[in-house]
Amino acid sequence: MTPKNRETREIEGDSLLLGELPLGCTLCIKGSKMVLFVTGLCDSSCYYCPISQDKSGQDVIFADEMPVTDESDILFEAKAIKSEGAGISGGDPLCDLDRTLNYIRLLKQEYGPNYHLHLYTSQNDVSEDVLRSLHEAGLDEIRFHPQTNDWSGIQRAIEMDMLVGLEVPAIPGKQEDLKKIAKRAEEIGVSFLNINELEASETNFDRLVSMGMRLTNMESASIEGSASTAREFLEWSEDGLQNLSVHFCSARFKDSIQMRRRLERRLEQTIRNFEERDEQDPLLIVGVIRAVHGHQLEHEQLALIHTTLQNQFDVPTDLMNIDEIRNRVEVAPWVIEEISKQLREILVDMKDIEIGISFEYPTWDRLQTLFNPL
């Protein structure tokens, strides 16, 4: 029996690797890659695209979860997670080339040549002029999503000595399609192939179900059969491929490892002195006074609550904050636990308010996972 040329190894979170992991993925594993969503515009219409409704087809910009209004927002988020690089995505970032080039130059100028930038695109016939402008701006790695037989842009990028990879989902039962892509990629000199576990979202779920697909289980967004298809392909790749690196990125890795590590980095950089952190998960704990669901406090009411905390309970100003964006007053959790009953009595005329402890992700949008009313 002929020995295998290479062996697949499991890395983290059920992810698999044959060959070498690209630097963009290495930094992603550390949680040190910012996701720079340049635009929701895209020339393709992939039925499995998971992009949310507020982004799909919309010319919007996000740095991780933060909406971007100007360049300072991008730099703020990069600093907030102590990023070592960024993944430039969309939509398709090449649908707004000028914006993409501007952001590449911005990040390279701010953080230096070692700040790693990779970009995703479905424009496999991209011109030499566009590729050259990306390369000269400082792009380190380009990842194509091949959907047609026209790989002219992929070929051009390789000939220009750019680091080129392919990125595709693992469609259940489509091992032969993966083999064809991988063989062609290896023949023309592509460096790596990333295979992502197929996941359902609010935007693609109905289409996936109509094609006979279903969730692996109710606790996961992964599609049944996607991971096993990738595993079977990697087993074939050990003998079927000679040089091409292949990386299967699992849904569990993205959710429980990569995302968690990025949140840990952001928590460390952004936690305020009136917040605590959860002992197990990367969650911030903060006391809040806000309107009940469906209502909203006026600015004058927020100011009154803040003044009441300061004058009647001697709460130091550095242990509380008025959050105008989320329309609430934030207080140190150990403080609000002590005074909540008395505070509610004083604010008795202010109807439809709630006082409690909120557990939140340290992201810009401060997604709440738990609220304990007091």
pLDDT tens column, 77-104: 999 999 999 999 999 999 999 999 999 9
Q: CA nearest 352: which of 309, 308, 301?
A: 301
> 263 by DSSP, 3-state: which?
helix
Instruction: Output DSSP code: residue 95.
Output: G
Give percent of the chain above pLDDT 90. Answer: 79
CA-nearest of 154, 155, 94, 156 to 119 is 94
User: Model confidence at 2, in pLDDT bands (50, 70, 90)?
Assistant: very low
So what's the pLDDT on residue 168?
95
Q: Mean pLDDT throughout 177-206?
A: 92
Q: Are residues 170 and 278 in the same domain?
A: no
Same domain, 170 and 293: no
Instruction: Determine the structural domain holding residue 244 and report its residue range.
Output: 9-269
Contact 224, 215 (CB under 8 A): yes
Cβ proximity of 288 and 358 under 8 Å: yes
Assigned token pair, 20: 């070498």
Q: Are residues 347 and 224 in the same domain?
A: no
Structurally, how many domains does the chain consist of? 2
220 and 146 share one domain: yes
How far is CA 37 from each of CA 56, 66, 105, 128, rounded to the nearest angstrom?
A: 11, 10, 16, 24
Residue 249 lies in a domain: yes
Closest among 43, 69, 38 to 55, alpha carbons compared: 38
Which residues lie closer than 8 Å to 74 by C-beta, 6 or more apart?
Answer: 34, 36, 63, 68, 103, 106, 107
User: What is the amino acid identity at position 333?
Assistant: P
pLDDT at residue 253 in the model: 87
Question: Does residue 4 lie within any of the structural domains?
Answer: no
Q: pLDDT confidence of 4, banded at 50, 70, 90?
A: low
Domain closes at, from 250, 269, 288: 269
- pLDDT at residue 332 is higher than 60: yes
Q: What is the mean pLDDT of the chain?
A: 92
Domain identity same for 126 and 37: yes
Q: Which residues contact 247 (CB under 8 A, 6 or more apart)?
A: 15, 16, 17, 18, 21, 22, 25, 192, 193, 194, 195
Asked which of 228, 246, 269 is the last residue of a domain, the reply is: 269
Instruction: Give the pLDDT of residue 5.
Output: 65
CATH number at residue 29: 3.20.20.70
pTM: 0.90
Backbone angles phi, psi at 366, to 5 degrees: 50, 55
